[in-house]
Chain A
Amino acid sequence: MASAGCMPAILLCRRPEASFSAALRERFRVLDFLASGEPLPAFLAAAAAAPEPPRAAVVTGSSSVRVDAWFLDAAPSIRCVISTGAGVDHIDLAECARRGVAVGNSGDVYSTDVADYAVGLLLDVLRQVSAAGRYVRRRSWPVQGDYPLGSHFRSGAPPQLGGKRVGIIGLGNIGSRVAKRLEAFGCVIHYNSRKPKDSVPYKYFPNVHDLAAESDVLIVACALNKETRHIVNMNVLEALGKSGVIINIGRGSNIDEAELVVALKEGKIAGAGLDVFEHEPKVPAELFSMDNVVLSRHIAVFTEESRSDVHAHTIGNLEAFFSGQPLLSPVHADSLVK
């Protein structure tokens, strides 16, 4: 551990918990953007002008601070950007690569919780846990009798999960964990990603439309970039079909949200579980009254365990950078999967 006098400086562009803040300050000289109260340009100018300007920056996962050409020009001392999230769509990876700025993310830290949440959403949509819970809580059970199972499923009751074909878009850290979990329920795993993965026993589909056509459930688990924006559109949803269910734990813009709403309204698919949306925190109000849709406010990563894990991991990334080691979880400009 470096002594106070020669602790490297870092930019902190997110609101930290007290314990994280303390842990950072034990190791680094922290230039805290939010605490400074200054607008970003003034803050970065002051940091750049300091005698030992910061060489690393910590930003949030879905940050209001975009790390783009402007930011890198304003903070030329920055040689490393660590995101505390899995997604890096707020970081211009190509620009960073051009300038030789290393980028790191949360690596695998959130993958388990997001995979768990995807399975939880799927079970909720299929077995109507939330909807049936509302039936109980509005006192309908003694009055109206047994819960009317899955009237929105073509067969009149929800389908069994076992034997169902699950198509995973993006078989990275999260997608592969989802696959492992759903295999234990007897699901057959199919996937799409940029390239097929040799070591994996699942059937590969080179495009998402064909994946959807041979899947009963579609799970969006990929990063957001130019290629994956609206990768799920009406065409894909129609291929998924009237009994199909879609789960999104990627980014809202992976799905054409307007077309998803239409598909749900018109019964083109049987249900959806969504943790992310195109224009958070705005959620299409038409979804609120749909019993076959489970909504959530981008919280798949937020557990106590992942919170403490990401603090340790971020510090690990920073210490690796400052000691000249490769980052624990580097992100490359051509990455697609989380």
Chain B
Amino acid sequence: MAMDSLSVLLLYPVNAYLEQELDRRFSLLRLWEHSPPDSLFRAHGSAIRAVVGYPGHKVDAALLDALPSLEIFSSFSVGIDHVDLSECRERGIRVTNTPDVLTDDVADLAVGLAIAALRKIRQADRYVCAGLWKAKGDYTLTTRFSGKRVGIIGLGRIGLTVATRVEAFDCPVNYYQRTKKEYPNYTYYPSVVELAANSDVLVVACPLNEQTRHIVNREVIDALGPKGVLINIGRGPHVDEPELVSALVEGRLGGAGLDVFEDEPNVPEALFTLDNVVLVPHVGSGTHETRQAMADLVLGNLEAHVLKKPLLTPVV
């Protein structure tokens, strides 16, 4: 079967290279070019055999009902909490993601957010750019990053990569996950609260599922405390966001570096004026090499599917 006979629906223009290649290799439909979206489903729904999606665009029974010929869903992400996996399984729809290629980028960003939060880099930049630096010796003391106890929720690919980076800063590494493994240099804690109580920087690096939703709740935030810093490079729903906001506003939590939010692209505005909070708009995988590698995985998975070869990175 020819590649270009595969009808692919792209839900969002997430990456120019990906879009260009999907167009070149397959028969591409772009969801955003149809208004309302229902008109696309009415006209082409039964022909679409593949969907390429992105976090924030739910793949649920409603979407699957509109695409009766769907064979494969390929996500431009490693997280697949936006996909109803059991629905896909039931309908025999394959699901792929983009693991490994973005691990380094996300880990790099986690460290960048932690240093930025503790050393208040953004504030320094803002101060200078506003022309406020009028005298030498004008400074405030921040807190050293090196040597801080780093607690990682989820020592998977990303968590382990964060661990090896912070070890170079002489940070003791603690962790929590469902099953304890043998890591001679890392200290296991049997609960997230105990992990938080024994860490200065808490990093969320686990997948999002029913068990990990709001895994960082008020109790954990209180345990992390007024000198603690929360770094979220997982998913917004990992953290009870209203609790996080009030803890930061009230000074019960020392600071935060956040790449993800419960209701992206909406970010609680109460955070905007806080000096101890670093905010970035879900850019964890945002480097050239990584985006290209993610796109290549999506394309490779679709091609393998057409050629009836084993999928490169199947989830279902």
Contacts and interface: CB of A to CB of B under 8 A. Distances in A.
A binds B: yes
Interface of A: 62, 112-113, 115-117, 119-121, 123-124, 126-130, 132-133, 135-137, 141-142, 145-147, 149-150, 153, 155-162, 180-181, 183-186, 280-281, 283, 285, 287-289, 294-299, 302-307
11 contacts: A116-B119, A120-B121, A133-B122, A133-B278, A136-B279, A159-B288, A161-B108, A184-B164, A297-B128, A299-B139, A299-B142
B112 A181 contact: no
Interface string B50-69: 00000000000000000000
Given A116-B169, A132-B281, A159-B288, A123 B145 contact: no
Chain A to chain B: the 8 pairs with minimum beta-carbon distance, closest first: A123-B112, A184-B168, A120-B115, A141-B265, A157-B288, A296-B124, A155-B288, A295-B128
A294 B125 contact: yes
Taking each of B121, B264, B272, B289, which has the highest tally of chain A beta carbons within 10 Å of its own beta carbon? B121
Contact of B119 (A120, A184, A288, A297): A120
Interface stretch (B129-137, B185-193, B239-247, B308-316): B129-137
A302 B288 contact: no
Most buried by B among A126, A180, A294, A296: A296
Interface string B280-316: 1111001111110000000000000000000000000
B288 A156 contact: yes
Nearest to B126: A130
Given A123-B115, A294-B125, A306-B144, A141 B281 contact: yes
B143 interface: yes
A29 to B, nearest CB: 26
Contacts of B288: 150, 153, 155-160
Q: How large is the interface on B (under 10, 10 to 19, 20 to 34, 35 or more residues)?
A: 35 or more
A159 B105 CA distance: 10
Contacts of A304: 141-144
A62 B136 contact: yes
Which of B113, B134, B144: most chain A CB closer than 10 A?
Answer: B144
A281 B265 contact: no
Nearest to A309: B144
Most chain B beta carbons < 10 A, residue from A146, A150, A159: A146
Pick the most buried of A145, A150, A281, A302: most chain B CB atoms within 10 A of its CB.
Answer: A281
A6 B121 CA distance: 46
B111 to A, nearest CB: 7
Contacts of B289: 159-160
Interface in B62-106: 104-105
B42 to A, nearest CB: 26
A129 B144 contact: no
A70 B140 CA distance: 33
Nearest to A297: B133
B108 A127 contact: yes
B31 interface: no
A307 B143 CA distance: 10
Contacts of A132: 280-281, 283
B105 A296 contact: no
B167 interface: yes
Contacts of B116: 120, 123-124, 129-130
A117 to B, nearest CB: 6
A153 B287 CA distance: 10
B49 interface: no
A224 to B, nearest CB: 15
Interface string B257-288: 00000001111000010000011111100111
A177 to B, nearest CB: 8
B110 to A, nearest CB: 10
Given A112-B146, A123-B108, A281-B134, A307 B119 contact: no
Given A130-B126, A280-B136, 5 more contacts: A113-B146, A121-B121, A126-B287, A129-B109, A136-B280
Nearest to A289: B129
B280 A133 contact: yes
B3 interface: no
A135 B141 contact: no
A110 B98 CA distance: 41
A127 B121 contact: no
A141 to B, nearest CB: 4
A49 B178 CA distance: 73
Contacts of A117: 115, 119, 121
A133 B287 contact: no
A180 B125 contact: no
Contact of A281 (B122, B135, B283, B290): B135
Contact of A303 (B125, B144, B168, B283): B144
B112 A146 contact: no
B171 to A, nearest CB: 11
Given A120-B119, A303-B141, A135 B281 contact: yes
A160 B287 contact: yes
B128 to A, nearest CB: 4
